[in-house]
């Protein structure tokens, strides 16, 4: 199945949405769009293995609600988390007859499963899934930049910013007057974050501690992060926006100490 680029683009697609901004509004939109469609409804408990790398490709999946982690393992056991998926995202495609990665749920997840043959025979379904894949490809471009060029602190700041719905991407509305905090509940362990960002778990922990010491965040439990100033966190990503008055790069030139 090789849909043309014009068929893959849909005017309603939001290319700015990161796949791991697990926003209840996005999940509701996914349900209203009836993502389950002609597919089989599948419900998975948290931390459930959906398929393993090397399994035969029989179905492709679309997340209706929840979160899925895709990863690859090296022979010595090292792991790279290659993609994090939320409501609307598609996974399970492979250019070969076997899976090229493993898939595991992070939270309770509802998916629609489509037989590979059904997708190939349905142009409408193929266009819908391909459009979502195109949006995910754009997000993967950003992840390549993160892994290839960003410092450890920039990677951590990018990860946290993407966990805040609506912030840190094109169309960001900026802070509300006098209120620019955010609460983040992490659904990944420190090791999983490290495997996604190409860091060691020690570096991830040190970076969180540095952000806490400088007053950017507060950490309650291991999975609870309170961001005091979202714009300041965004400016630490290395790719912050520069068009909004609240995001201009000159705002922290005076008196700002680098965290990198």
Percent of the chain exceeding pLDDT 90 equals 58
Domain edge (last residue) among 149, 164, 199? 149
Tokens of 207: 């970076």
Residues 83, 31 share a domain: yes
Looking at 105, 121, 149, the residue that finishes a domain is 149
- pLDDT top residue among 109 and 232: 109
* Same structural domain, 71 and 10: yes
From the list 142, 126, 176, the residue with the least C-alpha distance to 16 is 142
> Which of 89, 115, 149 is at the close of a domain?
149
Do 160 and 114 reside in the same domain of the chain?
no
Does 259 map to a domain?
A: no
Res 195: pLDDT: 98
One domain, residues 106 and 194: no
Radius of gyration of the chain (CA): 19
Total Cβ atoms within 10 A of residue 126: 19
Q: What is the CATH number of the domain that holds 77?
A: 2.60.120.10
pLDDT at residue 252 above 50? no
- Could you tell me if 157 and 88 lie in one domain? no
How many domains are there within the chain?
2
Structure confidence at residue 166 (pLDDT): 82
User: Is 257 within a domain?
Assistant: no
195 falls within a domain: yes
Q: Is residue 103 part of a domain?
A: yes
Residue 226 shares a structural domain with residue 238? yes
* 82 plus 135 within the same structural domain: yes
* Same domain for 159 and 142: no
Note whether residue 260 is domain-resident: no
Same structural domain, 16 and 117: yes
Task: Supply the CATH number for residue 175's domain.
Answer: 1.10.10.10
Q: Is residue 138, in this structure, part of any structural domain at all?
A: yes
Residues 140 and 26 in one domain: yes
Q: 137 and 98 share a domain?
A: yes
Give the strands of the sheet with 79-85, arranged side by side.
49-51, 102-105, 68-73, 79-85
Q: Is the confidence at residue 2, as pLDDT, over 70?
A: no
Looking at residue 255, what is its pLDDT?
A: 42
Task: Give domain status of residue 54, yes or no.
Answer: yes
On whether both 58 and 113 belong to a single domain, the answer is yes
In a domain, residue 16? The reply is yes
Rounded to the nearest integer, the mean pLDDT of the chain is: 81
What is the tens place of the pLDDT at every residue in 152-206? 999 999 999 999 988 877 777 777 777 789 999 999 999 999 999 999 999 999 9
What is the span of the domain harbouring residue 138? 5-149
Contact indicator for 4, 123 with CB cutoff of 8 Å? no
Residue 243: what pLDDT? 52
């Amino acid at each position: 199945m090789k849909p043309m680029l014009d068929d893959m683009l849909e005017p309603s697609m939001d290319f700015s949405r990161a796949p791991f901004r697990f926003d209840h509004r996005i999940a509701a939109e996914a349900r209203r769009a009836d993502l389950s469609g002609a597919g089989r409804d599948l419900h998975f408990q948290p931390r459930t293995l959906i398929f393993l790398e090397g399994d035969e490709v029989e179905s492709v999946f679309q997340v209706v609600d929840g979160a899925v982690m895709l990863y690859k393992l090296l022979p010595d056991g090292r792991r790279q988390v290659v993609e994090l998926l939320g409501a609307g995202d598609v996974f399970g495609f492979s250019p070969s007859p076997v899976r090229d990665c493993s898939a595991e749920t992070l939270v309770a997840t509802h998916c629609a499963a489509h037989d590979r043959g059904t997708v190939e025979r349905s142009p409408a379904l193929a266009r819908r899934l391909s459009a979502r894949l195109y949006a995910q490809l754009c997000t993967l471009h950003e992840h390549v930049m993160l892994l290839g060029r960003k410092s450890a602190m920039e990677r951590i700041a990018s990860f946290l910013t993407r966990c805040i719905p609506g912030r840190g991407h094109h169309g960001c509305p900026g802070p509300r007057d006098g209120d620019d905090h955010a609460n983040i509940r992490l659904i990944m362990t420190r090791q999983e974050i490290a495997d996604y960002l190409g860091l060691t778990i020690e570096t991830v922990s040190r970076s969180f501690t540095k952000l806490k010491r400088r007053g950017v965040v507060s950490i309650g439990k291991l999975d609870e992060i309170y961001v005091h100033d979202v714009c300041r966190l965004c400016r630490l990503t290395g790719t912050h926006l520069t068009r909004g008055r609240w995001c201009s790069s000159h705002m922290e030139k005076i008196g700002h100490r680098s965290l990198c």
